[in-house]
Structure formats: C-alpha cells, structure tokens
C-alpha cells in the first residue's frame, strides 16, 4: 500500500512547501501554511467528469475552423456589459465578493430570469428552503431553474449527466469537495482540483459555468492565485454593505474588455439595474459648497460623471495630513506639488482630504482637472457652479493635456443637463463648439482655468 504524500500550502497565495515554515516565502504572511494530503494511499474516485475526446492531435492554425457562436443574452444588461456582450458558450466565470454583498442573490436572480435555458443552481452553503425563500422575495419564478444541494463533485457530475443543463452555477467553489484530494473543502488543493474539473466540463460540453468565490481579509479572491488564471472571466462584486449600491467590476475577461463595470441597487426584492449611474454618483444639495467638482471618467465604453470632494484646512497637529479615498494617493501628491510650484498655492502647510463620491475607484487621468478645481475651490473657499464639469489631464508643467473619447464625455455631460465643460485646448481640434448645447471651454494651462472659473466670484 502506497504511503500518503503530504505538503504544506499557504492559504493566502497557494505557495507549496515540503515542510512547515512560520512565514510564507511567497506572500510574507505568518502562520498561513497548512498541511494537506496531495496523494491518497490507494483510492481513486468512482465518478468524475470524463472528456469525450480522450486524445487530441496537433493541427495547423490554418486548418482550425472557427465559428463565431452567438452569446447568451440575459435580461440583465449590466451583466451583459461586463461579460463583453453576453454569456459565452463553454466559458468559466468566477464571481468574488465579501460575505453578504449579494453574490448569491445576483446569480439566483440571473438563473430565474433565464427562462428559456435549463439552469442548474448547485448550492453547498444553503438548503433548498433557504433558496426558495430568497426566490419568493424576488417575486420571480421559473420552471427551468433547478436547485441541487450537494458538495461532492462526483455526485454533482452524476446529476449533470442525467439532467444535461444549459447553464451551471456553483455556490460556492470553496464548499466543493473532490474525491481526488484527501484534504477538507476550502483548502488550496480542493479549490484548485474542483475548479479544474468544472473547467474541463465547461470546455468539453460548451456549457457556461459560473463559480461563486469567497475573498480573503485583504479583499483578494480566496484560494491559490492560479485559480484566477484557470478561469476565463473574473468578476468582482464590490460595495459597502451599509449602502444600497453595488458595483460589478471586470478584473479579467478573455472575451471582452476588462474596463467595464455594472452598477446595481440592492432592494428587498433583489438587485435593480442602474442604467444611468451618473445620476446616483452626483449628490443633490440645496446650497453650493466649496470643494465640490464634477469630473468625467470612462469605464470601458461607458462615460460616467462623478463627484470629487475636497477639504483643505490648516494643519493644526504638526505634519500635514494627506488622505484620499477612491483616488491614487501618489497622484494626489503630484497634483498638490503642481499647484504649489505652478499655481503658487501654499498647500504644504495644509491638511488635504480627497474623496470620490459613490465608492468608486478612479484610475482615469481625465479626472485630474476636476481634482485640481476641487482642491483650489476648497482652499479659496469659493464654490464651483453645479452646472460645470471637467475632463482633462494635468501635466507636471501645469499644462492641461488631452484625453481620449472626449466626444462621449461631452455628450454625457450634455445629457445630464450641464451647461459648461472644461477640456484641453488640444482636444478641441475637430470639435464643433457651436453645435453642442453645452458650452465647451478649451484651456491650455491651469492659469486660464483659474481665471475663468474663480476670477468673477
């Protein structure tokens, strides 16, 4: 009888070590290595997914036939957007998010709305009665949505061979257990092996598979990092549990853009799609307040108008503080240095706090001009009119640089009722400034912006 082989795996990053060490050499975390059995004594599983094509032969790339198969379009336009236009046949999609954020609600809602497809929803965390209660709260029923409460993959594949679903949902991958691996459910070995089995099933049959995954304390997907490399698409479900808005962000997508996001609003009856997110990202207030500026950003093909909030005050506790939420802190330091050097503002002795309203994380450099305007507005205590928007990048010399997709940004601002938008002078080439209902103000340097924006107040 062969002896069982064991190894130590890091529960944070999946690092494999033949012996236990206190600190993981890969990620640097302490006390995360756990012993797992990697090869059983003499026991093999009885049932698993077997490939129909037992042997594959190499082909010249010119001999390979490719057919552009239509995607499965759901009623959820936000999900269609982040997936690149719909669900791809045979794709493996991983959805991660914090506990209680709404991952299971989202997938059950999608399973119930796909009334023309046979959907098998496999739950390893909830009973059939719990899922039924959630479906009744959503006030949505479907005769093509079937529920299976099971955690062993061999039993799941036995049911799949009889049922033959058109879409498979696994909730969650951390609760699944394969007979190939001796360790418990949720371990690095189990998560990797179960994902490999579902990936093989998806590729062999062309059935899309959705995997719901947990996240670690630092916000990354639980399990080995190789898990994200194995799947075709990684979606991150984000949001504050104390607010009603949720963001579905594309982290990886082999079939579309990785810059798309979908926005939902959580209700008692489920998740509602937010078709015009700019309206919820801009606060409504009765009186004008200094330090508020509206910037235009792009997430994939979608233009968004977001609110930048700044607070600049005298530092009373020695070293000035620099804090930013939703915006790169290093880029904030750079913009403050530009204002100090090129604009003459004494911000070195000021506390600076910057916030992007709505919980978004912004990486678009076109937000620079709105951040600059917001900081100066708070420093001078002069408010910016609510009908003014900004869309431009700022260079180290104080120059206002051009950004891409300027027409889409201007159109979105005009659609939301803005009267004026500041852009780069170098973006104005080819634009018909008179045709738009919104007033387009091209500027080449920060001095021109400050004179036009604050001089008359």
pLDDT of 36 > 90? The answer is: no
pLDDT of residue 63: 84
Distance CA 367, CA 264 (A): 23
Architecture of domain 77-275: 3-Layer(aba) Sandwich (3.40)
Answer yes or no: is 97 a known binding residue: yes
pLDDT of residue 51: 45
Higher pLDDT, 43 or 36: 36
Higher pLDDT, 68 or 50: 68
Answer yes or no: is 101 a known binding residue: yes
Answer yes or no: is 102 a known binding residue: yes
List pLDDT tens digits, range 308-357.
999 999 887 778 999 999 999 999 999 999 999 998 898 988 999 999 98
Answer yes or no: is 103 a known binding residue: yes
Percent of the chain whose pLDDT exceeds 70:
91
pLDDT of 440 > 80? The answer is: yes
Answer yes or no: is 300 a known binding residue: no
Lookup: tokens for 350: 């000021």
pLDDT of 56 > 90? The answer is: no
Q: Exposed, middle or buried: residue 97 (CB in 10 Å: 0-12, 13-18, 19+)? A: buried
Contact 385, 350 (CB under 8 A): no
The fold of 280-454 is Ribosomal Protein S5; domain 2 (3.30.230)
Q: What is the bridge-based pairing of β-strands 393-394 and 400-401?
A: antiparallel
Q: What is the bridge-based pairing of β-strands 322-325 and 245-253?
A: unpaired
Answer yes or no: is 115 a known binding residue: no
Q: Could you tell me the strand order of the sheet in which 420-424 lies?
A: 322-325, 350-356, 302-314, 292-299, 388-391, 420-424, 439-443
Answer yes or no: is 358 a known binding residue: no
């Amino acid at each position: 009888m062969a002896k069982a082989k064991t190894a130590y795996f890091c529960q944070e990053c999946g690092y494999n070590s033949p012996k236990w060490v206190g600190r993981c050499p890969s990620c640097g975390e302490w006390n995360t290595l756990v012993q797992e059995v990697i090869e059983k004594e003499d026991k093999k599983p009885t049932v698993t997914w077997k490939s129909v094509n037992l042997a594959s032969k190499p082909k010249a790339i010119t001999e390979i036939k490719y057919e552009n198969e239509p995607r499965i379009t759901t009623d959820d336009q936000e999900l269609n957007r982040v997936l690149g236009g719909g669900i791809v046949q045979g794709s493996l999609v991983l959805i991660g998010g914090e506990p209680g954020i709404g991952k299971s609600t989202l997938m059950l809602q999608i399973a119930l709305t796909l009334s023309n497809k046979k959907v098998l929803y496999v739950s390893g965390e909830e009973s059939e009665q719990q899922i039924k209660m959630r479906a009744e709260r959503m006030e949505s029923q479907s005769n093509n949505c079937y529920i299976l409460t099971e955690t062993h993959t061999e039993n799941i594949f036995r049911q799949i061979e009889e049922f033959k679903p058109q879409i498979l949902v696994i909730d969650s991958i951390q609760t699944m257990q394969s007979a190939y691996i001796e360790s418990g459910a949720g371990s690095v070995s189990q998560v990797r092996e179960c994902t490999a089995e579902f990936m093989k099933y998806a590729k062999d049959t062309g059935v899309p598979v959705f995997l719901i995954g947990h996240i670690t304390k630092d916000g990354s997907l639980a399990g080995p990092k190789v898990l994200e490399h194995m799947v075709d698409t990684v979606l991150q479900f984000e949001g504050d549990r104390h607010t009603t808005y949720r963001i579905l962000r594309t982290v990886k997508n082999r079939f579309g853009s990785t810059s798309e996001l979908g926005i939902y609003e959580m209700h008692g009856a489920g998740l509602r799609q937010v078709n015009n997110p700019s309206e919820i990202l801009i606060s409504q207030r009765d009186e004008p307040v200094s330090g508020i500026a509206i910037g235009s950003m792009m997430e994939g093909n979608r233009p968004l108008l977001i609110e930048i909030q700044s607070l600049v005050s005298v530092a009373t506790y020695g070293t000035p503080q620099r804090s930013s939420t939703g915006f790169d802190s290093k880029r904030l330091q750079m913009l403050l240095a530009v204002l100090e050097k090129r604009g003459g503002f004494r911000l070195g002795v000021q506390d600076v706090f910057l916030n992007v309203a709505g919980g978004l994380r912004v990486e678009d450099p076109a937000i620079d001009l709105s951040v600059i305007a917001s900081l100066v507005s708070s420093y001078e205590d002069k408010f910016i009119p609510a009908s003014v928007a900004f869309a431009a990048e700022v260079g180290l010399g104080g120059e206002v640089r051009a950004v891409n997709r300027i027409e889409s940004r201007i159109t979105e601002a005009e659609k939301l009722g803005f009267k004026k938008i500041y852009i780069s002078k170098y973006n104005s080439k080819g634009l018909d400034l008179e045709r738009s209902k919104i007033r387009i103000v091209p500027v080449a340097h920060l001095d021109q912006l400050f004179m036009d924006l604050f001089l008359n107040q």
